[in-house]
Amino acid sequence: MHVTRGLLAVVVLVVVACGEDGSGHPTELDVSMFNTYFEPTDETFQIGVPIEIMVTNAAPEGAQLSVHDFTVLAGLYETEADVQQALRNDPGLLVATTELMAPGDSKTLNVTFEQAGVYQFVCTVPDHLGAGMTGTITVQG
């Protein structure tokens, strides 16, 4: 009996330490921003679960294109112009955003996705989405 209880306690601790919800999806995301891309570029979360997104600007100091933001939008967009137009039409498409971040800066966003579907994260600094600063978040219901 005592052995069984001990094993259960260990299993629970491991799940919490990995930052996963009951469905096996993560509850945390570490994103690094480089000068023309994010790493990682896609992740899947469970609907209705609080997610902690830790964003770090890992771009080399002094490089061109080194100031970035991290903006999460409902839907998928091909171009910067598409993003701007969508937000003008429906500001509610903006899920979360950091301020502009210099190299070395870190910010944490706490997001709970209330609708299943595909979301996009982009850098909204002009020309950065086109340069490749985009990624997707899939939310499963």
Under rule CB under 5 A, residue 68 binds Cu ion: yes
Give the three-class secondary structure for 81: helix
Structure tokens at 129: 């989405």
- # binding residues, Cu ion (CB under 5 A): 5
The owner of tokens 């409902």 is 74
Q: Does 125 bind Cu ion (CB under 5 A)?
A: yes
Asked if 111 is part of the footprint of Cu ion (rule: CB under 5 A), the reply reads no
Sign of CA dihedral 17, 21, 26, 29: negative
Contacts of 139 (CB under 8 A, 6+ apart): 44, 45, 46, 47, 113, 115, 116, 117, 118, 119
Residue nearest to Cu ion (CB): 123
Per CB under 5 A, 123 contacts Cu ion:
yes
Q: Where are the beta strands (DSSP E) in 14-112?
A: 28-33, 38-39, 42-46, 50-57, 71-74, 94-97, 106-112
Q: How far is the CB of 37 from Cu ion (least distance, A)?
A: 9
Residue closer to Cu ion (CB basis): 25 or 128: 128
Q: Could you tell me which stretch among 11-19, 65-73, 80-88, 103-111 binds Cu ion (CB under 5 A)?
A: 65-73
The CB-of-4 to Cu ion minimum distance in angstroms stands at 52
| Closer residue to Cu ion (CB): 55 or 123 | 123
| Region near Cu ion per CB under 5 A, out of 44-52, 55-63, 92-100, 130-138 | 130-138
| Site residues for Cu ion per CB under 5 A | 68, 123, 125, 128, 133
